[in-house]
Chains A and B, each alone.
Chain A
């Protein structure tokens, strides 16, 4: 049987420190030993290992950067619908909306668009996007899903007023008949939410660093205000109008577009729109 003598000496219970203490470390010898040995194969191995670790760290950083640039690619209508539902959940989680509906593949249209002129508030909106029209009984509308980020870049959500519910106002329709208008915004978002709350939550969803309420007297529509909205006002407060557009500029919006948030009362129910380029609205 083979045994290591150094292993046998593991059981040595003598008093060797006298010897050890009589042989103090000779700095020069230790240095020469270290340089001699570590300068050889061991040092090369260590150097290779260090290089490999640095290379791995660099690769990980590059990979992370690549993912940050292109987190998702939506390549089909089905994927667009799936992404839309995930993003609607995120909007609900953030409190942007409370409307509880899903977009069902096969029960909606999801067309690939590449003319983002209506939705050019984001530079990324110039990338192709799926414009999905949906109808879910109580809710209908449309939304855009970016093929690059997978995010919803605009949405229009209409909530049908419950049958028999009291209208907000009754007006004369174009044909002279009476038309009821409904303000059931509580079916779309938290009725206690203010303009500031809403803009802040959209800012979080789109990943901007801030927002500013601004005036928007572009003359395109009388619904615009020529003064900044009151951030403390309720989002549903239209100041007696049927429709009100709040204009906002998000900090970090690379396209630099003003956009509007619109709340409207229609004959079948309330409607919320967000993510539309103001100048083209």
Chain B
């Protein structure tokens, strides 16, 4: 949880702000403990940590600095539902090599910088950016091909 929160807010907020967000994550877990399904705790925690950290970031009027975060999709993808989007994302990620998938998840989900990913995976940051570009292309292609219902 700390790693996710730090990746998102650590560059623009103080340690105290980040700690507050982490506390908020566990408070949310405590409040919703009855709703978490068995075996899903880590996924749930990661999701809450990301969501709370992004909210915190929004409150401070700061933005995430991610590589080419905006993707241009056909109009048919405009009204795509959350469930369909999740399924498409899983399919797109499954089509990537394990290394590229990890890089995409680290960057766009855990919000690690290319440099940080490079440090932890032993790749130059530029290589990370190239692989991110490939991952974006795969995602865009899949989202463009899908015939989403309006």
Chain A interface (Cβ within 8 Å of chain B)? 1-6, 8-17, 19-25, 29-30, 33-34, 36-38, 42
Report Cα–Cα, A5/B66, bound state, in Å.
Answer: 9
* Residue contact B6 to A3, C-beta cutoff 8 Å: no
Nearest neighbor of A4 in chain B, beta-carbon distance: B69
* Residue contact A3 to B109, C-beta cutoff 8 Å: no
Question: Is B36 in contact with chain A by the CB < 8 A criterion?
Answer: no
Report Cα–Cα, A16/B74, bound state, in Å.
Answer: 29
Given A3-B77, A33-B11, A34-B10, residue A15 in contact with residue B43 (CB < 8 A): yes
Nearest neighbor of B70 in chain A, beta-carbon distance: A2
* Residue contact A9 to B73, C-beta cutoff 8 Å: no
Chain B interface (Cβ within 8 Å of chain A)? 2-4, 6, 10-15, 42-43, 45-47, 50-51, 62, 64, 66, 68-75, 77-78, 82-83, 85-86, 89-90, 93, 102, 105-106, 108-112, 116, 119-120, 136, 139
* Residue contact A3 to B73, C-beta cutoff 8 Å: yes
Find B2's partner among A10, A15, A25 (CB 8 Å cutoff): A25
Contacts of A14 in B (CB 8 A): 43, 90, 93, 105, 109
Q: Can you name 21 A-B residue pairings with CB atoms under 8 Å?
A: A1-B78, A2-B71, A2-B73, A4-B69, A4-B71, A5-B70, A5-B139, A6-B64, A6-B66, A9-B105, A14-B90, A14-B109, A15-B42, A15-B43, A16-B46, A16-B109, A17-B43, A17-B46, A23-B3, A29-B116, A42-B62
* Residue contact B89 to A38, C-beta cutoff 8 Å: no
Dominant SS among interface residues on chain A = helix
* Residue contact B86 to A23, C-beta cutoff 8 Å: no
* Residue contact A23 to B120, C-beta cutoff 8 Å: yes
Nearest neighbor of A23 in chain B, beta-carbon distance: B120
Contacts of B90 in A (CB 8 A): 12-14
Report Cα–Cα, A36/B113, bound state, in Å.
Answer: 14
Report Cα–Cα, A4/B69, bound state, in Å.
Answer: 5
CB distance from B15 to the nearest CB of A (A): 7
Given pairs A4-B70, A16-B43, 12 additional interface contacts (CB within 8 A)? A3-B77, A9-B89, A11-B83, A12-B90, A13-B43, A16-B110, A23-B120, A24-B3, A34-B10, A36-B11, A37-B11, A42-B62
Find A19's partner among B10, B15, B89, B102 (CB 8 Å cutoff): B102
Report Cα–Cα, A30/B16, bound state, in Å.
Answer: 13
* Residue contact B111 to A6, C-beta cutoff 8 Å: yes
Report Cα–Cα, A37/B71, bound state, in Å.
Answer: 27
Contacts of B110 in A (CB 8 A): 16, 19-20, 23
CB distance from A31 to the nearest CB of B (A): 8
Report Cα–Cα, A38/B15, bound state, in Å.
Answer: 11
* Residue contact A1 to B77, C-beta cutoff 8 Å: yes
